[in-house]
Structures are given as C-alpha cells and as structure tokens.
C-alpha cells in the first residue's frame, strides 16, 4: 500500500511538472487610441497576432531566432519578466518631410531565460517587434523565423526580386513593379523584397516593413505553409566573391555560409513591422521607420545640406547650342554648373566616367576636377561624385580625405545590389567614415532605406525604386507604379526616383530612347512628383538645354524644397492616384498624380491656416490627352477651407505653390 501511494504521489508530481512545463503565458497590449490590440502567446512557440477594432489583421504568427549552436530563441520560451511602458512624446526630425514627429506607443518587453527577449510596440497605426540578446562574445544566427499570416487569401502588391546579377539569387537591383495578385499565387521561382502591401478590404491595408537594419541581412518574403501568409528569408553570409554583374561592377558572392549572420551576442535585432491603415491616404504620411530608427550618431550635422542636383547620366550629356563637344569633359560640367547657378540648384553630379576605371583616386584625362569644383564654388554650386560600392569599400580611407579637401561635397554610391550582412554593415561604415570628412552620401543600386538616414543624417538619398531611368529602355506601366510607390515604397523612406522629364508622351506615342529619353504621362505629372515624392537629395534628370527652353516649369521645380516642415495627406488610392501637400517656411506646395485613367479630384484646402492665399497652379492642358507636354499655368486666389475641383489627364498631374497674401 505504501509503495502504491508513493507511486501515485510521484505520478501526480510528474503530471503537475508536465502541465507546468506546457503552460502558456498570454499577453495583450493595446494602442493608446484603443483600436489596435496585440496578442502574444509564449508557449511551445512564441506567437503574435493583431486585431484592429476587433477584426483580425494578422493571424497567429510564430517568431524565433535560430542560433548556430542549436538553440532556438522563442521555442518553449520561459518568460522571466514582462514590463510595459507608455510613451507619448515628440522628437525633432532632421532633413525629413516634417520638423516634429509624434511618437506615441505602448511597449511590452518580455525577458526570457536563456539570455534573450522580445520588445513589442503598438502604435495607433501599426505594430512592431524585435528580438534582443544578452549573450557573451559572438553568436551565429543560422536563421530567423518571421511570419506574417492573414485570415484570408487577400490581394497583395508584391515587388519580386527578378533581375538576378550573374543569375544568382540575393543579387538584385531592388527595382520592380508591383505584381497585384492573391497571396497564394506567389511566384514559386522568386522572393519579394520589402515593403510589401496586403489589401484586406474594408479600406484596410497592411504594409510589411523592417526598420533599424544594422549589421544583419535584410528580410525578403516568401509564401509560407499557410498559403495565406509570408515568411522571412535572408541572404546567407557571403564567404567568397568575384567581380561580375552589370558591366563587371558588382561584387558577386560565389560561396555562401549556412548561416545568415555572425554578430555580437549582446544586441538588438531589426524591427519587424506592420503598418495598418484605415484609408489609403494615411499611408502617404507615415513615420513608422523614422520612429523606430536609432538616433543620430553625428553630434553636429549642420554641414549636411539637402537640395536639388542637375544630373548628367539620364539625359546622356545631350546639351546643344554650345561651341564645344558635349560629353564627360570639363566644358560640359561647367555648362551644368552655369545652369545650376542660374536656377539656384545646389549641386551637380558627375556620374560614371569622371574617374579612371577601377581607381577613384585618379581622374579621367578629359576632366579637370579641381577646376570644375573651384568653378562651382564661385557659382555657389557644389559637386557630388558617382562611384561603385566595390571601389568605395576598397578606397574610402584614401579618397574621402582626398576629395573632401578638394571641396567635393559627397558621393553617389552605386551597385551595392545586395543586402546580406556584409553589405548592410558596409553602409553604416561608409556613412560613418564619410561623416568624418563632412561628406554626404546618396545610396544607389541598393535595398530600401530602413532608418540609417536618421542614424547618419549625411545619408541623404536612396534608390531601391524602379525609377525614371527605366524610361530609357522599358515600356512597362510606369504611371500606375508612380501612384503605387507613395503608398508602399515611400513608407520605408526617401526614394531617388529622379523625375524631371521635359519630353512627355501619351501612352500611344511613348517609346524608349536611351540617348534622348521621354516620360510616360504629362508634363504636370512630372512637376507633381517633386511634391509627392520624398527625396532630400532630388534630381533634375533632364538636360540643361531643355530646362532653359521650359523655364516656367523649371522655375516651379527648382522652387520646391527637398525637405519640409510639415506634410499633409490629402487624398489617394493605391495604384490609382495620390495627392498631398507639404509646407516649408510658411509656403505650401501641393501635388496630385493619376495613373493612365483621367479623373476629377476635389482638393480640400482646410489644411491652410486662416487667411488669403495666392496659388500659382500648373494643370494639365485641355489637349494633354493628345500632347502630354500641354499644360496651363495660372494664378488663383485660395483661402482655408476652399474645395477646388481639378481635372487630371491620363497619366496626368497637378501642382501648385501657395503663399499667404500679406
């Protein structure tokens, strides 16, 4: 009897121990407006889900960090503490679309046994989470499990990685139109890069992002086993490389490891983010990445000067009515400087060809760079130099001090075309080194921004967008793309789309011409891009000769500031049209764009403070559906609260500069 009783007690204790081990812990966190609820379950898996006003937005989705030693941080997680915090503050933003950013969220920090944890934040417009570890020495990250599950097979806007450099996956320009398709129809032979949008109906859109990406590979998305959701995929760590890709300008990994990162054991990992909108226009003025990025590491960034640049490559140095042979030479760049000076444009860019191939320390014999830089100084125009990432990574210790001393103000750095740990870490190293010499950097041929432009404010430009260079060779539907990216790609941060075409074509007349490119859509569509698209370092892509022939339009373009004090989303529908307003020093700028569908919009000017205003307006001409260069310039009187009907031609636009009448 005693043995039976002892056995029963042991069995009960074992059963209790098993039940205790299997017990889950649940946590709920709401946004401060009460509309969004995050639910976290720590059990066999660490799982998160999100509701908006009771509607399931993100279905239960597992997360974990898989280490090289076999540990899986998140599976069977033992939560040792849970701390919540309420934040309601405002911070100053530098070189951004607004001066003040409201930062309002509730935070849950789960600290777990095995020296790791997860931070969750719930904002009024989305949710973010990130892992952190507190381990000694270096750790190997074999993989990260990140899932974004949905309750239905919704429509998504998917930017596929398609142009593999040297035919190798994870080597891409990060430029793609959006494939609008059901989640379950995700391509089996590709991956998607971020941001990616999901349309959940009822005016609800979800945009998947990442923020504060540093010393870690960027996240791609693939279809997961639910066929109604996505999972994170990451480029493995590169072990061996060779030169290849486009014109042999890319560093192509030929061997990759079976892990994605080697990193410090005590650190925070990138934020995994979903932004949730209840109307499309909300996405035109979102600050999520800015709020999640690390603070500036430059003590005094007053020397960083955003602005516009006269750019040579897109227009193929095709200036005319001059008495010298146009091309990559000193007289041509002096001509660009004269144009920039006359129009108060801050910079010119010397794109590919200014240096000896493969050696940035040596200047092409056709270029007297010091003469060009000095000539620019006399005219109050500064010089930015183009370079490949491979050359910058190899030579920055030599050339940054060399060209900074000469008076060059920065570098446009191209052909990264990867976002594995090595490249991501390099973007921070370059920005830091450039800042030491008061050099700005414009990153091209690169993944989307994730907040480095806040951490290093000398990073003033990012491509990661299928921009206007494609008009030189492509026939794709750019007008639809141009009214999709403000709601999707621009959520990640600034984008160097390079607008400003003065040769404009309707759909029937458009054809790609590399040496004398034109744009799809109207002249006013191009003007509106300077207001709608966020770009602290903004291009004038066409050539000076044409701009001088089109001085009215040039005057409008060069009058639009590249950073603003305030941004107001006016109206929009992803893929259809977009309209927003920006304010700098009390002057307002309004832009509206449409796809190939003509449409009438009503703009509400309630955003204007009280008073009477004069608006200089550029609108599509009555014949812009036949000749895309047709436009009408007029002056209108406007006051706060006015509602103005505007007409947009196919591929059209509308732009205005609005000043208070004193």
State percent of the chain over pLDDT 90: 95
Pairing between β-strand 382-388 and β-strand 347-350 as defined by DSSP bridges: parallel
Backbone angles phi, psi at 164, to 5 degrees: -60, 120
Is the separation of the CB atoms in 586 and 660 below 8 Å? yes
pTM over 0.85, yes/no: yes
Strand, coil or helix: 20: helix
Is the confidence at residue 6, as pLDDT, over 70? no
Q: Rounded CA gap, 444 and 457, in Å?
A: 16
What are the E-state strand segments in 68-191? Answer: 72-73, 79-92, 100-112, 116-123, 126-149, 155-159, 178-182
pLDDT band at 181 (very low <50, low <70, confident <90, very high): very high
List, edge to edge, every strand of the sheet that includes 566-573.
566-573, 577-584, 587-594, 653-660, 612-620, 631-639
As a whole number of angstroms, the distance between CA 148 and CA 129 comes to 12
The percent of the chain in helix, strand and coil, each rounded to the nearest 5, is 20, 40, 40
User: Is residue 529's pLDDT more than 90?
Assistant: yes
- pLDDT category at 450 given cuts 50, 70, 90 is very high
Mean pLDDT across the chain, nearest whole number?
A: 95
Task: Find out whether 404 and 368 touch, Cβ atoms under 8 Å.
Answer: no
* Res. 10: pLDDT tops 50: no
- pLDDT value at 83 more than 50: yes
Write the pLDDT tens digit of every residue in 88-98: 999 999 999 99
Measure CA of the first residue to CA of the last residue in the chain; give whole Å. Answer: 101
Answer whether residue 269 shows pLDDT above 80.
Answer: yes
Tell me the per-residue pLDDT of 219-263, one tens digit each, with 9 for 90 and over: 999 999 999 999 999 999 999 999 998 889 999 999 999 999 999
pLDDT of residue 18: 39
CB 349 within 8 A of CB 460: no
Determine the 3-state secondary structure of 250 from DSSP: strand
Distance CA 399, CA 328 (A): 21
In whole angstroms, give the CA distance from residue 584 to residue 528. 16
| pLDDT confidence band for 162 (50 / 70 / 90) | confident
Q: How many CA atoms lie within 13 A of 166 on its CB side?
A: 18
CA dihedral over 510, 514, 516, 520, signed as positive or negative: positive
The active-site residue, picked from 175, 210, 469, 542, is: 469
What's the token pair of residue 299? 């003590």
**What CA–CA distance (Å, rounded) separates 416 from 190?**
20
CATH 2.70.98.10 is the classification of domain 25-292: yes
Q: What does the block give as tokens for 364?
A: 């092409």
Does the pLDDT value for residue 165 go beyond 90? no
Indicate if the pLDDT at residue 4 is higher than 90: no
Rounded (10°) angle between helices 421-436 and 389-406: 0
Radius of gyration of the chain (CA): 26
Q: Which of 414, 419, 420, 542 is catalytic?
A: 414
Measure Cα distances from 178 to 183, 196, 312, 470 in Å: 13, 9, 28, 15
Position 360 scores a pLDDT of 98
Residue span(s) of the chain under CATH 2.70.98.10 come to 25-292
Sign, CA torsion 297/301/303/309? positive
3-state secondary structure (DSSP) of residue 550: coil
- Residues 334, 335, 337, 342, CA torsion sign: positive
Phi, psi of 78 (to 5 degrees): -105, 105
Integer angstrom CA distances of residue 469 from 465, 485, 520: 10, 16, 12
- Copy the structure tokens of residue 144: 């990260």
Q: Please give the pLDDT value at position 246.
A: 87
The CATH number for 466-535+551-662, chosen from 3.20.20.70, 3.40.50.2020, 2.40.30.10, 3.30.1490.100, is 3.20.20.70
367-402 pLDDT, tens digit each: 999 999 999 999 999 999 999 999 999 999 999 999
Cβ neighbours for 264, distance < 8 A, ≥ 6 positions apart: 138, 139, 215
pLDDT value at position 79? 97
Structure tokens at 555: 């005057």
CATH 3.20.20.70 range(s) for the chain read 466-535+551-662
Give the per-residue pLDDT at 1: 45
pLDDT at 149 over 70: yes
463 is catalytic: no
Distances (CA, A) of 305 to 294, 382, 410, 533, 563: 21, 10, 10, 18, 10
Q: What is the pLDDT of residue 77?
A: 96
C-alpha closest to that of 481 among 192, 174, 157: 157
pLDDT digits (tens, 9 = 90+) for 332-352: 999 999 999 999 999 999 999
pLDDT computed for residue 534 by the predictor: 98
Q: What is the mean pLDDT of residues 540-553?
A: 98
Per-residue pLDDT averaged across 42-70, rounded?
Answer: 98
User: What does the block give as tokens for 369?
Assistant: 């760079």
pLDDT band, very low/low/confident/very high, at 15 (cuts 50, 70, 90): very low
- pLDDT tens, 300-322? 999 999 999 999 999 999 999 99
**For residues 110-115, average pLDDT:** 98
Establish whether 576 is a catalytic residue. Answer: no
């Amino acid at each position: 009897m005693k043995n039976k009783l002892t056995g029963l007690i042991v069995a009960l204790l074992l059963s209790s121990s098993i039940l205790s081990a299997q017990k889950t812990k649940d946590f709920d966190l709401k946004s401060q407006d009460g509309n969004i609820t995050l639910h976290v379950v720590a059990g066999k898996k660490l799982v998160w889900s999100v509701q908006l006003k009771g509607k399931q937005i993100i279905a239960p989705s597992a997360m974990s960090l898989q280490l090289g030693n076999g540990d899986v941080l998140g599976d069977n997680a033992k939560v040792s503490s849970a701390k919540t915090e309420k934040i309601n503050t405002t911070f100053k933003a530098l070189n951004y679309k607004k001066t003040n950013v409201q930062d309002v969220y509730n935070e849950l920090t789960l600290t777990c046994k095995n020296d790791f944890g997860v931070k969750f934040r719930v904002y009024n417009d989305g949710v973010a989470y990130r892992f952190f570890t507190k381990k000694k020495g270096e750790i190997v990250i074999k993989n990260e499990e990140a899932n974004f599950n949905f309750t239905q097979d919704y429509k998504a806007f998917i930017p596929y990685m398609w142009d593999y450099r040297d035919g190798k996956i994870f080597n891409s320009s990060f430029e793609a139109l959006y494939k609008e398709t059901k989640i379950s129809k995700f391509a089996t032979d590709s991956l998607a890069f971020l941001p990616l949008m999901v349309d959940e109906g009822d005016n609800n859109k979800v945009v998947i992002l990442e923020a504060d990406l540093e010393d870690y590979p960027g996240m791609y998305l693939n279809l997961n086993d639910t066929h109604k959701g996505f999972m994170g995929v990451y480029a493995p760590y590169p072990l061996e490389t060779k030169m290849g890709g486009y014109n042999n300008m890319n560093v192509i990994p030929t061997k990759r490891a079976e892990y994605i990162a080697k990193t410090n054991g005590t650190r925070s990992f990138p934020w995994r983010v979903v932004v949730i909108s209840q109307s499309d226009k909300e996405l035109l003025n979102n600050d999520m990445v800015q709020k999640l990025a690390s603070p500036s590491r430059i003590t005094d960034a007053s020397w960083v000067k955003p602005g516009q640049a006269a750019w040579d490559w897109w227009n193929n140095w095709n200036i005319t009515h001059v008495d010298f042979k146009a091309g990559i030479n000193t007289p041509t760049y002096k001509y660009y400087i004269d144009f920039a000076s006359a129009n108060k444009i801050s910079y010119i860019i010397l794109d590919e060809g200014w240096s000896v191939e493969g050696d940035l320390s040596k200047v092409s014999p056709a270029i007297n760079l010091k003469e060009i830089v000095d000539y620019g100084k006399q005219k109050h125009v500064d010089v930015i130099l183009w370079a490949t990432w491979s050359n910058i990574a190899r030579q920055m210790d030599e050339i940054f001090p060399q060209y900074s001393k000469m008076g060059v103000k920065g570098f446009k750095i191209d052909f990264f075309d990867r976002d594995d740990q090595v490249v991501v870490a390099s973007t921070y190293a370059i920005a830091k080194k450039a800042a030491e010499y008061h050099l700005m950097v414009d990153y091209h041929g690169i993944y989307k921004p994730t907040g480095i432009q806040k951490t290093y404010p000398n990073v003033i430009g990012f491509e990661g967008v299928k921009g206007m260079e494609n008009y030189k060779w492509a026939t794709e539907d750019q007008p639809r793309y141009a009214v999709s990216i403000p709601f999707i790609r621009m959520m990640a941060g600034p984008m160097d789309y390079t607008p400003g075409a003065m040769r404009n074509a309707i759909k029937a007349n458009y054809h790609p011409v590399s040496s004398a490119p034109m744009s799809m859509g109207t002249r006013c569509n191009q003007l509106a891009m300077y207001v709608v698209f966020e770009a602290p370092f903004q291009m004038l892509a066409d050539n000076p000769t044409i701009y001088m022939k089109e001085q009215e339009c040039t005057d409008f373009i060069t009058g639009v500031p590249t950073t603003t004090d305030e941004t107001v989303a006016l109206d929009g529908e992803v893929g259809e049209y977009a309209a927003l307003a920006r304010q700098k020093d009390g002057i307002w700028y309004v832009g509206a764009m449409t796809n190939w569908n003509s449409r009438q919009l009503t703009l509400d000017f309630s955003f204007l403070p009280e008073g009477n205003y004069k608006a200089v307006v550029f609108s599509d001409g009555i014949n812009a559906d036949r000749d895309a260069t047709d436009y009408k310039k007029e002056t209108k009187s406007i006051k706060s609260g006015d509602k103005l009907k505007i007409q947009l031609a196919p591929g059209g636009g509308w732009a205005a500069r609005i000043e208070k009448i004193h």
